Every structure is written in C-alpha cells, then in structure tokens.
Amino acid sequence: MSKTAIVTDSTSYIPSDIRNAHGITMVPLNVMFGDEMYQEETDISTMEFYEKMKTTEALPTTSQPSIGLFEETFTRLAKTADDILVITLSSGISGTFETAHSAAQMVEGANVYLFDSEVSCYVQGFYVITAAKLAEDGMKAKQILSHLEKMKQRTRAYFMADDLNHLHRGGRLNGAQMLVGSLLQVKPVLHFDDKKIVPYEKVRTAKKAIAKILGLLHEDAKFGAALDVVVIHANRPEKAEELKKYIKSKYPDVTVTTSHFGPVIGTHLGEGSLGIGWTDADLAI
C-alpha cells in the first residue's frame, strides 16, 4: 500500500500527542524578539511567549520556516513515503506556502502536494487531522486533497484582535485604508476573504464582536447540524472554556474543543484575542 506523509506548519497548533498519534510532521515558524530567534513550540512555549511579550520592550516579529528546513523534512519523509501532503496557513498572510512549494521542487523520491488552508490555527488543524486520518485509512494524496477542498466549502473562522495595531503593524490587515484612525480603536469581527484578513463587520466592543461570531455560528448550528467547533484564545483560557460550555449547552450535536493562538499568530493578534472556527463534522472525520 502506498504511504502518504502529512506535514503541517506549527501555526495549526495541534498538540504533540495528537500529532504523534497520527504521524503528523510539524515544521515550525519563527518568532523574533530583536536578535533572539525562537522556533515556536520547539524553543518557546505559548505561555513563555505571552510572558515575554509583556516584559520585553521590543515587539516581536515573525518569519516563515526556511526553505532548507522544508527540504530536509521532505527528504527525510521521502525515504518512507510515496506522497507527502503539506498543509499550510493561508498563503495570503505568510510566505510559508510559497517556501514549501519551492522546497518541493528540490525533493526526489516522493511526490509533494500542497494544500493552502486559506486560514490558520486549529481551523487549519481540522484539515490536517482529517488528512492524517484519511492517509491512515490508505487514501491517496490526490483524493485527500479533493476531500479537503470539499471541507473548505463548509469551514468558517471569525476572530477579533484585542489590539488591531499588531495586525496593522505586521501588514496583515487588508483594506488598511479603512482602518486608519478610529477603527484601530474598535474591535471588528475579522475573517479571511480570498486568503487575506479583512474586517467582516465593524463592531465597537469585544463583547459585541463575540456576540456577532456566536450569531454566525448559530446560523449554521441552529437546525442541529453536526459541526466541529473550536474556540481559540490568546492567553484567555477561562473565557475560552466559558464559550465552549455555552456552545456545548446550546447545540448538543456539536463537538467543541479549545485551542490557542501560539507565539507566531499571537505576535500578530496580541494577547486577549479570541476566535471561533467550525467545520462540517461529517467531513472532518
């Protein structure tokens, strides 16, 4: 039977026990405080990062994995796999997809396929875990890709940044002209459109932003659809737990988990940010 290896970048924030259980290989992105460079998860934990963000004057920056790291990873996997399927964060916010694509051209002995999640964090993780389970069942990379494309049609992610200046400073907020001045003081609901982050709706407070996101979830969950939902937080575990409990009690047919914005995504969203994502549970096996 042919073997498909599944690779993700670190921003899917899939816990290592789940990655290990499904043979998922993770390639880390980097976070920099001045001259100090850390591979997220490997060199700096999420807790350490938020602590450092509070205590360090220099604001952090981020970078994609090097082409060498992808090439090394693919070459190692090519020794035991026929196909390699790489699932990255949105190509509209990071060069990770492009770098993985360039590294793929250098690898011999396996076919490398790429899937642009057009999102990030545990919502990207839904694709990665599904792909890994399908690969375990013996599905070939091309079929897994078409399954993921179907899933993409049924996947949503909305989030709010506690301080929009981080996204603005990192150049990851599209339609920046709309954001000059007062909008930077408010908490719009954000989402991905054509791979880029754009405001979905301009609301004034974090409370209203969360209510709006819950309203959008309600539209998809109200008739009892089986959904996999994730509540994602930037160092706000209690709020994430509270939202998880609320969602679970309101929609018994949904599965809810919590996850976090790790160092790389936390650099661009800032502490206190929150997001909710969901996908069709019948497709996310």
**Residue listed under structure tokens 């409370």:** 207
User: Least separation, in Å, of the C-beta of 229 and ligand MYR?
Assistant: 12
H or E stretch including 165? helix 165-169
- What are 30's two structure tokens? 């980097």
Classify 227 as helix, strand or coil.
strand
Strands 111-116 and 156-160: unpaired
**Residue listed under structure tokens 């290989």:** 25
- What are 227's two structure tokens? 């959904």
- Interface segment toward ligand MYR; rule CB under 6 A; list 34-42, 46-54, 59-67, 177-185: 59-67
93 versus 128: smaller Cβ distance to ligand MYR: 93
Contact flag: residue 259 with ligand MYR (CB under 6 A)? no
Q: Which of residues 211-250 bind ligand MYR (CB under 6 A)?
A: 232
**Residue facing ligand MYR at closest CB distance:** 94
Question: How far, in Å, CA of 229 to CA of 254, rounded?
Answer: 7
Contact flag: residue 23 with ligand MYR (CB under 6 A)? no
Strands 30-33 and 156-160: unpaired
Q: Which of residues 123, 144, 213, 274 is near ligand MYR by CB under 6 A? A: 123
Binding track, positions 77-116, relative to ligand MYR; x by CB under 6 A: ----------------xxxx--------------------
DSSP classification of residue 64: P
The contact set with ligand MYR (CB under 6 A) reads 29, 62-64, 93-96, 119-121, 123, 157, 159, 172, 232, 264-265, 268-269, 275, 277
